[in-house]
């Protein structure tokens, strides 16, 4: 039972890492994917790692069974992780982080919906 729970937490972390990582990569280059570098990937990995860990810890204390709540929490935690992980690439510190959080929340909602339908 513990192994199964650990496997679920690892899958959950990887899902949240992927959503935050993708959103962070896209926001850092402001949509211009032709300028992506390995440094962007490493920086996005910090945001993804922090967001994933925060989500796993948070979900350990409360069951999140609603796709809207899941997306909202993913967005908020990704925004916080982005603020902590690196300086902004545009606007005030919170602007890029908010865009990254919104992107992660949208990915979470779209992927959650896809999983539940398929």
Question: Using CA atoms in the order 55, 57, 61, 62, what is the torsion angle rounded to 10 degrees?
Answer: 10
Burial 1-18 (b: 16+ CB within 10 A, else e): eeeeeeeebeebbebbbb
Q: 5 near 56, Cβ under 8 Å?
A: no
Give the pLDDT confidence of 30-78 residue by residue, as tens digits.
888 889 899 999 999 999 999 999 999 998 888 778 889 999 999 999 9
Q: Indicate if the pLDDT at residue 118 is higher than 50.
A: no
Give the pLDDT confidence of 15-33 residue by residue, as tens digits.
999 999 999 999 988 888 8
State the residue for tokens 């992780």. 81
- d(Cα 41, Cα 22) in Å, to the nearest integer? 9
State the residue for tokens 């929490």. 73
- d(Cα 60, Cα 114) in Å, to the nearest integer? 24
First to last CA, the chain: 26
């Amino acid at each position: 039972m513990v192994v199964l729970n650990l496997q679920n937490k690892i899958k959950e972390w990887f899902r949240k890492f992927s959503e935050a990582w993708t959103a962070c990569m896209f926001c850092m280059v402001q949509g211009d994917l032709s300028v992506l570098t390995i440094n962007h990937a490493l920086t996005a990995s910090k945001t993804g790692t922090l967001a994933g860990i925060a989500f796993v810890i948070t979900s350990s204390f409360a069951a999140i069974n609603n796709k809207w709540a899941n997306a909202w929490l993913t967005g908020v935690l990704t925004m916080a992780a982005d603020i902590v992980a690196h300086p902004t690439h545009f606007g005030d510190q919170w602007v890029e982080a908010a865009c990254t959080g919104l992107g992660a929340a949208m990915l979470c909602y779209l992927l959650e919906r896809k999983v539940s339908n398929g």
